[in-house]
Amino acid sequence: MDYNQQLTDWQYYYSRINRLTQGHHQVEQTLNSGLDGLNSLTYTGEKWLAEKECNTLLLQCCRLTLPSNEHLVTKFCQFIYNAVYKQDIKLTQKTLDELLTFLIEFCNVCHDWSASDALRALGAILYGRGASCLKFCNQLLKTSEPIGILTRYCRSKNDDISRLAIQCIGNLAFKTVKMGAALELSHYQMCYEILQRTMEIYLDTNFTDPLNACRNFNCTLRSLQNLLTAIQNLNTISLNPLIAVLRVFMLYGVEKVTLTQAQASVLLTQGGSPVKTQDSGATLSSQRRLRHKTFNKKSGNTATNDSVAPSPLSTDTAASTGMMFNSLYQTDTNLSIKPLVTSDSEYSDNESGQALKLKSATSKVRLNALSCLQIIFKRCNKGVSLGYWHYFIPDSIDSKIPSIFTCITKDYSTKCRQGGLLLLTALFDGSKSYLTAANYKDKSNGPFISFSYTLASMLHEVHRSLIKAMQQSHSDQLITQILKCLTVVIMNTPYNRLQQGFLTKIVDTILRYMHKSDQNIRVAFLTCLISVISVEGPSSEMQDLLSLSTYPGYNYHRVENSRQLPDYTPWIIKLCNNLLYDTRRAVNLDDSMNSLSIQSSVAENALQVLIIFAANYPQIIWKSLQDVTNIASDWLADGDRKITLYAVKLLEEIARIRQKNIIEPNANEKELYLREAVNYWNYLLTDVLPKLLETSINGTIRAAACDCLSMIGTEVLQELSITLRIFCMTTLLALCKDENALIKASAVRCIGVFTMFNSLCDDSTFIADCIIVILDAIENTQINVRIKAAWSLANAIDTIARNRLQYRENFSANLVSKIYAAILKAADDNDKIKFNVMRALGNMLQFMSNQHLQSEEFVEYISKSTVVLSKNVGSGMMKVRITAAQALSSASDRKCYGDPALYASIWKSYVVCLSNSAEITDFSEYKHLNNLKDQVYISVCHLASLMEETDILSIRTQLSGLEDKLIQFIQEYPLEILQRQVSDGNEVNNFQEHKKKLIDRLSLVLKNFHGEGSEFLRLLVEKLSIGENEDETS
């Protein structure tokens, strides 16, 4: 239909209906013909309806249409569907409320023949509008009497109506990005209960029509996907039975795996009650032995000493679920559905068509089930998901139970194979900390197999199966997905706890794809290679693999116009060199946008391979540093910003290696390494960095150039010409004032590095300029800038504290005051900033001179600093507390600790710190506990060494009721150190020496003091001295 004619017709029908009133004698006739006309228009394609007019018309139809006139209502419902779904009209809240009220009222009185149109319209209205429909949720979803309309229709014997009702639930639960959180938790639980009950009805239905059954399953699974995505916390629903049924569905129709109605129904409602099957007499697989060991704790079985926490499914219900899985896949089980026949030759033409439809429908069931499982394992706690691994991943090559690899290797649908790979990716992603429990050496000779060994066996099987799947696959799309999945597997696998050889097998397998014509495969191959060389703790296997100049699986032939490389160059550098220049040649041949994008991705990843190779294996790459520098330089001027950025990052890694060679060389090679580094930096500072730091260059690249400059090192800087040194310093100071937060953060960090250089520490003017720009940055609105500024300020103050005699003369009181004010203000900032603020305060206490201590302004600053440090010793992140404790013990002058009340409060803060440290709940913080205690012990002893007679009474008051805790800590902590797994005799002696000095100091103060508080001090000395003579004798 002509567009202008359509608009004319719309306006005609709109005007006719809009003029009608409730009492008009021809209202039904006019409305009927108007709706016919409106429904005859074309709503597909571009949006052409005016939203304001459409909302007005929908409201008018709600007022004029009587629910009793079912024929008229069905036409109105068709118009709602056309306007809201096909034209994507945005409904006002008033229109939405009126439409929902009308449709709910109609659904309560209509017949089945008109319910379909009503539900279709309702589904269109509910889609993505859950947050706006909260007041109608009970009328739609209520599961108790009187039940909601969707609940009632889901139980309908008419499958078409039931499916439409299920779609409505899925649409209601659908969470859009714009709307955010949609329904309340109770409503989500209602939705889940309805879908669970509906699935049970479907499973209990006689599968005389398997095609229709698949439609029902698919509809329910799609709605379930929306629901699982929307629920914020999946722990609020019962996952066990859901995962059990989804696991059955993911294999439905593959390898003769079919549904057994009764068993699947029991799984859904009871979470998997055990079903007895005939014992075939075969020996239990290690997987079943693991389940027996994990889940039968109540039987008193303690045959294993495995210290790994049991599976999150260690309940009777979960055990039953695991047994149910076995029973579902016994080859001798009587199945209620015939195995799917995939050969068309067994059917007539008509039957062949039906078989193909059924084949397509079952593949959709599998795909939807895999999508649901992917959502669950992507969003649930990784510790919980690990408990389900043995339901999806085999633990030996001999396992006959269908698994996720049945989908990946044997499913005839490529999409289902990809779905299986995505599910495997979701299982592995983020599981690194849990998989460290694997240990293939932990194999016992008894009847039970340890969890750590079984987990290692699963990881072995995952690698074996993925490599096999890759070798057998001929689909480019599938190969790409396998490579992506393998990348995630590699990133999360603890190879140091598995058998050696897997990384070599992976490299052998993936190398065949580096020259594939499909560039997506090349990108996936390089990403996988990056994950291989990123494996933590470079093993001897990887050292040997990457140090080779020629690799058996890679025949190196230099690409035209690529860099000429020496024969000894490691094969991985040759490979990246070829890929980079081959990419440039391909772009010249095909300069379309799509080609440019894909080719750029190849080049980016090839440069990333070189960056990570340089970072992780500097001892292998160092002989080829000049060749890699040449490669990076060739790509600096590339038009693609990302490629330029990675080229700069590669130059930074080269600079890091050269600096490391200078710091840790053999004595004979130091001069050689230094000369090479100076030549390298002459090149960078003359030809590269000045161009990259120009204001016209992208901010991210300029920031990367600053990061590169921070790698120069004090030895190299000292050897450069005065011109280049001035260029470095003036450029950095200017960049610290840049408005771009990314550039400012990088420049400020680089300044912090420069302030620590020995070659610049005597330049008080430069250090003062650095501090001024840092003080400006520490008040920036961007937290990343403030974090870098706090770190740099702590470095700068460390420098002036080390050279305090010089800087006390050269720094004005005004500048020192500004430094103190800025630090104290930053002390209330984020914990990541506080860490360096505490360090800066400690250095400032060391910097203070007698002249400063005579000024009321600085005395107040010192007092405030002490209060801030004392406060942070007792609470916050462990690193902050340790640094604060260290800072409090940095001053060697008693005057820096204020009056006796303030001095005594520091004592109390240490005791409070010890009390709070026993209440740590965060495991990541627990590893720092010993460091905190060490520092508190040293700080208390240091504090005692400065005690004066006037402090005793205040200390007694502050420590009232806490002195025993302090005495116990000082007495017993050296023994605690001795009992640590990694104990150092010298360390214990050091702490004993600290303790002796503390007692000697307190005894000296007590000797000449007889005032109030002397009894407290005497008692303290006596308790601390208990066992001291024995310690000396021992």
Angle at 1025 between CA 1024 and CA 1027, to 5 degrees: 110
Question: Using CA atoms, how far apart are residues 318 and 291, in angstroms rounded to an integer?
Answer: 9
φ, ψ dihedrals at 282, nearest 5°: -75, 155
> How many CB atoms lie under 10 A from the CB of residue 723?
9
Under a CB-based contact definition with an 8 Å cutoff, are residues 863 and 902 in contact? Answer: yes
Question: Using CA atoms, how far apart are residues 674 and 671, in angstroms rounded to an integer?
Answer: 5
Of 659-663, 665-669, 1018-1022, the poorest mean pLDDT is in 665-669
More confident residue, 485 or 261: 485
Asked whether the predicted pLDDT for residue 60 surpasses 50, the reply is yes
- The full 3-state SS of 715-771, as one line of letters, equals HHHHHCCHHHHHHHHHHHHHHCCCCCHHHHHHHHHHHHHHCCCCCCCCCHHHHHHHH
Question: Using CA atoms, how far apart are residues 58 and 80, in angstroms rounded to an integer?
Answer: 8
Rounded to the nearest 5 percent, the helix, strand and coil shares of the chain are 70, 0, 30
Mean pLDDT comparison of 163-172, 308-317, 537-546, highest-scoring range: 163-172
Which pLDDT belongs to residue 652? 97
Asked whether the predicted pLDDT for residue 756 surpasses 50, the reply is yes
Partners of residue 769 on adjacent β-strands: none
Question: Using CA atoms, how far apart are residues 267 and 146, in angstroms rounded to an integer?
Answer: 28
Number of H helices, E strands in the chain: 53, 0
Under a CB-based contact definition with an 8 Å cutoff, are residues 884 and 838 in contact? Answer: yes
DSSP label at residue 780: -
Q: Tell me the CA distances in angstroms from 977 to 586, 618, 940, one per residue in order.
A: 64, 37, 17
The pLDDT mean for the chain works out to: 84
Which pLDDT belongs to residue 588? 57
Which pLDDT belongs to residue 996? 81
What tens digit of pLDDT does each residue of 687-713 get? 999 999 999 999 999 999 999 999 999
Which pLDDT belongs to residue 244? 86
Q: Tell me the CA distances in angstroms from 974 to 158, 938, 944, 984, one per residue in order.
A: 79, 11, 17, 11
Half-sphere exposure of 916 (CA within 13 A, CB side): 18
Half-sphere exposure of 558 (CA within 13 A, CB side): 9
What tens digit of pLDDT does each residue of 593-648 get? 555 566 788 999 999 999 999 999 999 999 999 999 999 999 998 778 999 999 99
The predicted model gives 457-485 an average pLDDT of: 94
Model confidence band, residue 255 (pLDDT cutoffs 50, 70, 90):
low
What tens digit of pLDDT does each residue of 579-591 get? 998 877 665 555 5
Question: Using CA atoms, how far apart are residues 794 and 928, in angstroms rounded to an integer?
Answer: 21
Question: Using CA atoms, how far apart are residues 321 and 325, in angstroms rounded to an integer?
Answer: 6
1011: which residues sit within 8 A by CB, 6+ positions away?
949, 952, 953
Which pLDDT belongs to residue 22? 77
Question: Using CA atoms, how far apart are residues 275 and 322, in angstroms rounded to an integer?
Answer: 11
| Residue carrying the six token digits 């027996």 | 292
Model confidence band, residue 800 (pLDDT cutoffs 50, 70, 90):
very high
Q: Identify residue 1003 by its one-letter amino acid code.
A: S
Model confidence band, residue 521 (pLDDT cutoffs 50, 70, 90):
very high
